[in-house]
């Protein structure tokens, strides 16, 4: 273990890594297909190599397809979904701006917090956790708060609660407010349909490790021409140098100017993951998520378990389940992991300790996994792991 050149007195080297194989049925990361992992193992290119620049263009084109947009400013940020969230807020907001944001789960709360850290004022419209938001509640809140709003922000797929937020009516409200419309589509992209142009969304962000079934580390974002205009008419520079889209667009677009070193091999993985999603067909892919999500949800209810979201407002790719009163949360999840090799998620915020979150995302959304997680839960709920 301790070879020449390894200083005496240093701790023994760890063994070469050997992660176990798990079935990832939590809120992300999701199962990564072999061809996506293999893409990452291809030779690293320089981040300004002509071959790599061509691959970047292909990624942008495929992301436009996935986002349902013609937006020129569509590209993956280096960082996870949260970096995408921060990118949108730090680029579109200036100190003193106001944001109207729906908070019916953890991620809406994070948008408000991230907006405040940019120096903006966040006016939160509180919604019930596990229910969709209503534009009329926002209208009333805006009237009560008075003044103008730079952004109207909401989470389209609330991974903390399992709610699929309908997108009708928000563009009209944004127009009434003179605001840009921002949507968190982290858990939607590559799973349920995303149609930024049809919805009239000005800025959206996603993540690589949910329904795209790519490893974590990239955050696709897209800005409409109206959002780009806002960015280009700012009074002061973007407060984050690393996330400044004016600078990053010069690398991903026109002059290919160095900004930061692109995570080359991770972008190979995203390229392959986008290719797989588009090759399946977005309609077919959405139909698969809808069909198997409904099958899982019916199965869980058939087991006597209660779901957190009423039928009609549920995400197919993320199901939030109430932990029965006489059952302890963590031992069940540990049992699933140890006995079945299955990972599911616990709850966040007020749902911590009382909710399980089961993801059927991208490559993990299979009939076999629907059966597996139900079998695992049935075994776990038998006597030994009861509280």
Nearest alpha-carbon partner for 288 in 214, 208, 197, 193: 193
Q: Is residue 92 within 8 Å of 203, Cβ to Cβ?
A: yes
Q: Which of 104/187 has CB closer to ligand PLP?
A: 187
Nearest alpha-carbon partner for 220 in 210, 230, 233: 210
Q: Which stretch binds ligand PLP (CB under 6 A): 46-54, 183-191, 245-253, 375-383?
A: 183-191
Q: Is 265 helix (H, G, I), strand (E, B) or coil?
A: helix
Q: Which of 165/224 has CB closer to ligand PLP?
A: 165
Residue 30 is a binding residue for ligand PLP (CB under 6 A): no
The tokens describing 19, both together, are 């992660």
Q: Which of 85/300 has CB closer to ligand PLP?
A: 85
**Contact residue for ligand PLP among 73, 107, 251, 268 (CB under 6 A):** 107
Among all chains, which residue has been given the structure tokens 């993985």?
Answer: 269
**Contact residue for ligand PLP among 45, 53, 55, 82 (CB under 6 A):** 82
Which residues, 6+ apart, have CB-to-CB distance to 122 below 8 Å? 98, 99, 101, 111, 112, 113, 115, 116
How many of the chain's residues bind ligand PLP (CB under 6 A)? 14
Q: Give the span between the Cα atoms of 107 and 82, in whole angstroms.
A: 9
As measured in angstroms, the least distance from the Cβ of 210 to ligand PLP is 6
Residue 187 is a binding residue for ligand PLP (CB under 6 A): yes
Q: Exposure of 235 by Cβ count < 10 A (0-12 exposed, 13-18 middle, 19+ buried)?
A: exposed
**Contact residue for ligand PLP among 86, 97, 184, 272 (CB under 6 A):** 184
**Contact residue for ligand PLP among 68, 81, 130, 316 (CB under 6 A):** 81
Residue 359 is a binding residue for ligand PLP (CB under 6 A): no
Segment 158 to 177, residues that bind ligand PLP, using CB under 6 A: 159
Q: Is 98 helix (H, G, I), strand (E, B) or coil?
A: strand
Q: Give the span between the Cα atoms of 240 and 242, in whole angstroms.
A: 6
Residue 87 is a binding residue for ligand PLP (CB under 6 A): no
228 alpha carbon, distance to own chain's centre:
22
Q: Which of 186/203 has CB closer to ligand PLP?
A: 186
Q: Which of 28/68 has CB closer to ligand PLP?
A: 28
**Contact residue for ligand PLP among 155, 174, 221, 249 (CB under 6 A):** 155
Q: Give the span between the Cα atoms of 236 and 387, in whole angstroms.
A: 56
List residues near ligand PLP by CB under 6 A: 28, 80-82, 85, 107, 155, 157, 159, 184, 186-187, 207, 216
């Amino acid at each position: 273990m301790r070879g020449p050149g390894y200083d005496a007195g240093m701790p023994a080297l760890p063994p070469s890594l050997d992660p176990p194989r798990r079935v990832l049925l939590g809120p992300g990361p999701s199962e990564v297909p072999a061809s996506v992992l293999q893409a990452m193992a291809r030779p690293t290119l320089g981040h300004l190599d002509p071959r790599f620049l061509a691959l970047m263009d292909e990624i942008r084109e495929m992301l436009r397809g996935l986002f349902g947009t013609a937006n020129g400013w569509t590209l993956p940020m280096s960082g996870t979904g949260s970096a995408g969230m921060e990118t949108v807020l730090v680029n579109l907001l200036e100190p003193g701006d106001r944001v109207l944001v729906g908070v019916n789960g953890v991620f809406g709360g994070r948008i408000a917090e991230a907006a405040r850290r940019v120096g903006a004022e966040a006016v939160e419209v509180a919604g019930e956790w596990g229910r969709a938001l209503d534009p009329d509640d926002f209208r009333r809140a805006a009237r009560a708060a008075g003044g103008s709003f730079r952004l109207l922000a909401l989470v389209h797929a609330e991974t903390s609660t399992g709610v699929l937020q309908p997108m009708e009516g928000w563009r009209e409200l944004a127009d009434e407010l003179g605001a840009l419309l921002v949507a968190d589509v982290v858990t939607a992209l590559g799973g349920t349909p995303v149609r930024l142009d049809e919805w009239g969304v000005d800025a959206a962000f996603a993540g690589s490790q949910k329904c795209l079934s790519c490893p974590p580390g990239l955050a696709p974002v897209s800005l409409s021409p109206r959002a780009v205009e806002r960015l280009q008419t700012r009074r002061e520079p973007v407060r984050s140098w690393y996330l400044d889209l004016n600078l990053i667009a010069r690398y991903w677009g026109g002059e290919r100017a160095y900004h930061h070193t692109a995570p080359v091999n991770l972008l190979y993985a995203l390229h392959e993951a986008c290719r797989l999603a588009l090759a399946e067909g977005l309609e077919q892919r959405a139909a698969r998520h809808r069909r198997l999500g409904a099958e899982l949800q019916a199965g869980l209810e058939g087991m006597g378990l209660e779901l957190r979201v009423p039928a009609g407002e549920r995400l197919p790719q993320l199901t939030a389940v109430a932990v029965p009163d006489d059952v302890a949360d963590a031992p069940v999840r540990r049992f699933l992991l140890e006995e079945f090799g299955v990972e599911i998620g616990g709850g966040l915020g007020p749902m911590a300790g009382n909710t399980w979150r089961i993801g059927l995302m991208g490559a993990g959304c299979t009939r076999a996994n629907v059966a597996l997680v139900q079998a695992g839960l049935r075994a776990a709920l038998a006597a030994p792991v009861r509280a």
